[in-house]
A = this chain, B = another copy of it.
Amino acid sequence: MDDVMTDGVGRFIELYQQEFNEDLSALRTPGNTLQNTVPPDRLEKVLQFPHQKGFFKDLPIKEGCREVIQQLQERYEIYVATAAMEFELCFTDKFDWLKQHLPFIPWTHIVFCGDKSIIGTEYLIDDAERNLKTFTGTPLVFTAPHNAHLQEYTRFNNWQDVADYFLK
């Protein structure tokens, strides 16, 4: 979900502004991560943002996400697998987000997990190297600033790229 379907990076920038009254837009620069962008004395606080209730609520959906997933569903079995266990206050937010934005994904096809190595699908579209490198099917990277260094995976820069790969 985060940084594939939603703008998780944007939420960090927004909460950073609220907390420190400073701009963190540099987090959008390819190659940047929280670790190399946030001053060390603020990092612990910022890493706690997703553990707060509401972090995952009302996140904007990425352009084309809804439309492309609807098209993919006509030809593929689509699951949404999201790392939720690390942030236990997010369960309801994430579930509600999916009901609101992707109501055509049935509950049978939603997975809240920890380690995604357990996911036995044929493809995985993900932003996080830790998920891509343990996946047993075909891993596909969805571009986010923190994965700009990854060279070894087919890369999607946006949802149109996803449509082109799977539907053409």
Residues in A lying within 8 Å of B, measured CB to CB: 79, 81, 84-86, 88, 91-92, 95, 106-115, 117-121, 136
Contacts and interface: CB of A to CB of B under 8 A. Distances in A.
A99 to B, nearest CB: 9
Contacts of A114: 106-111
B85 A118 contact: no
Given A91-B95, A106-B114, A111-B111, 9 more contacts: A85-B108, A88-B95, A91-B91, A91-B112, A109-B114, A110-B113, A112-B112, A118-B121, A120-B120
A114 B85 CA distance: 15
Contacts of A136: 120
A86 B107 contact: yes
A115 B109 contact: yes
**9 shortest A-B CB distances, which residue pairs?**
A120-B120, A108-B114, A91-B91, A85-B107, A108-B115, A112-B112, A111-B113, A107-B114, A85-B110
Nearest to A86: B107
Contacts of A107: 85-86, 88, 114
